[in-house]
Amino acid sequence: MGLIAISETPLHVLAVDDSNLDRKLIERLLKTFSYHVTAVDSGSKALEFLGLKDVEKMEKISPFSPNPEVEVNMVITDYCMPGMTGFELLKKIKESKSLKDIPVVIMSSDNIPARINRCLEEGAEEFFLKPVRLSDVGKLKPYLSKNERKTTEEEECVSSDNSRATYNDDHNDDDDDEVEASTDEDEQIQMLRKTIEEQCVLNDNSRAMHNDDHKDDDDEVEAWSDEDEQSQRFSKDQSC
Amino acid sequence: MAAVSQLQRQFIEYTSSLYNEGYLDDQFTQLQKLQDESNPDFVVEVVSLFFEDSEKLLNNLATALQQKIVDYKQVDSHVHQFKGSSSSIGAQRVTNVCVHFRNCCEEKNLDGCLRCLQQVKHEYILVRNKLEALFRLEQQILQAGGSIPMME
C-alpha cells in the first residue's frame, strides 16, 4: 500500500538520584517497561544533559540552546540530593521555555504531605514514595505519550494545569515560606489540591496503599502542621 | 535428585524465616521479581551495593559521632541515606533502627545516637550474614542442577 512502518524509538527517561543503589533500581524498573534510560547522580548533571546550562556560564560561552541530540520524554528525580534538590531541579525545568513541557516525577523516602503538595503544585506529575515499585512506574505511561494530547483525561488535566500555572505565577518567589502558609494560603492550597485531584487522574488509591506499605516510616500521613513543624524545626525542607 | 529437593526445601524454609522474623520485607520480593534471564544477578548486584554503602555509612557515622562537637545534621544525613538504601532492598530491621536513629538526631541525644549506632551495626551484620547464607544456598541449588524456588 505504500505505507512505511516507522519503528518507534523507545521513550527516553532521565533518572536522577545521588544513591547508586537507587539509580540501579530505578533504571531496572524503567527498563522493564522498555524505556531507554539515562541515569545521572545530580540535578546539575541532569540540567547539563538536558542542555540547560548555568545562565552565567552560558552568557560567557554560547547562547542558550537545548541539546538538539537529546530528546528526553520524562525526568524522574529523587527529592533529597546534595547540592540541587529534586524540587529545585523541577523548578528549573518548569521555568525553562524549552523544557517546561517535559513531565517530571519526584521520588522521596520521606512521607511529608507539605512536600508532596509543594512538588505537585510546582508542576510535578506524580510523587512516588520510595522504594519505588513496578506498579508506580506503570502509572507513568499516560505522561509519556509522544502524541498530541487529545484524550479526555488530558483535557481534564488542562484546566487544572492552567489553575496550577496561575498559582505558580502568583507564588513564584515563595520558597520555604510556603511551608509557613497563612490560613488564606492554606485554603487556596486545599482548593487547588481538590481541583487537581478531581480533574486529573491522580491515583490517590495506590498512594494510600503505598502509605500502608510504608507504615514503618517515621512520618505517616498526619496533620500538616505536625509535619510542617517537624521539617521546619529540624531542617528546612530543602535540605534533607 | 534428593539432594536438590532437600536444598530447595531448605531454601524455602530459610527464606520464609527471614520474612517472618522481619529481616526482610516485601521490597526484597520486588527485587527478585526484577531478576530474569537478561538480568540474572540483579539481586546480588543490588545487595552488594547495599553492603558497600552500609560499610561506608557505618564508618561515617562512627566518625561523626566521635567529634568533639557533634554535627547532628550531618549524622542525620548519613542515617537518612542508610534508611533509604536499607528500605530499597527490604532490610526492614535495619530501616526500623534508622527511623529511631533519626529521632535521636533530631533530639540531639548523643547517648541515644550512640546506642542506635550499635543497634544499626548489629542489625546490619545480622542481615548481611543472612543474605550471604541465602545466596550460598542459591548457588548450591544451581550447582546441583536445580532451580531456585519462587517464593510467593
> Three cell numbers at A214?
510504608
CB contact at 8 A, A179 and A228: yes
Contact criterion met (CB < 8 Å) for A218 and B99: yes
d(CA A21, CA B86): 10
Please write down the HEC assignment for all residues of A115-129. HHHHHHHCCCCEEEE
Mean pLDDT, rounded, for B84-99: 98
Mean pLDDT, rounded, for A160-187: 50
Q: Which residues of B are less than 8 Å from A234 in CB distance?
A: 76, 106
The pLDDT value given to residue A52? 74
**Structural element, H or E, at residue A75:** strand A74-78
Q: Classify residue A15 by burial, with Cβ atoms within 10 Å: 0-12, 13-18, 19+.
A: buried
Taking only the tens place, the pLDDT of each residue in A33-59 is 999 999 999 999 999 999 875 544 444
d(CA A131, CA B87): 7
Mean pLDDT, rounded, for A17-36: 97
Closest CA to A137 of A13, A20, A42, A49: A13
Contact criterion met (CB < 8 Å) for B85 and A28: no
The pLDDT value given to residue A204? 45
Taking only the tens place, the pLDDT of each residue in B24-80 is 999 999 999 999 999 999 999 999 999 999 999 999 999 999 999 999 999 999 999
Nearest CA in chain A to B53: A21
Q: Which residues of A are less than 8 Å from B50 in CB distance?
A: 21
Q: Classify residue B143 by burial, with Cβ atoms within 10 Å: 0-12, 13-18, 19+.
A: exposed
The pLDDT value given to residue B151? 77
Q: Is the pTM of this model over 0.80?
A: no
Contact criterion met (CB < 8 Å) for A109 and B85: no
For residue A131, whether the previous peptide bond is cis, meaning omega lies within 30 degrees of 0, is yes
Taking only the tens place, the pLDDT of each residue in B94-127 is 999 999 999 999 999 999 999 999 999 999 999 9
Contact criterion met (CB < 8 Å) for A24 and B45: yes
On the question of pLDDT at B22 being above 60, the answer is yes
Which of A37-51, A163-177, A197-211 has maximum average pLDDT?
A37-51
- Taking the CA of residue A164 and the nearest CA in chain B, the distance in Å comes to 31
B88 Cβ under 8 Å from any chain A Cβ: yes
Q: Which residues of B are less than 8 Å from A133 in CB distance?
A: 30
The residue to which cell 544499626 is assigned = B120
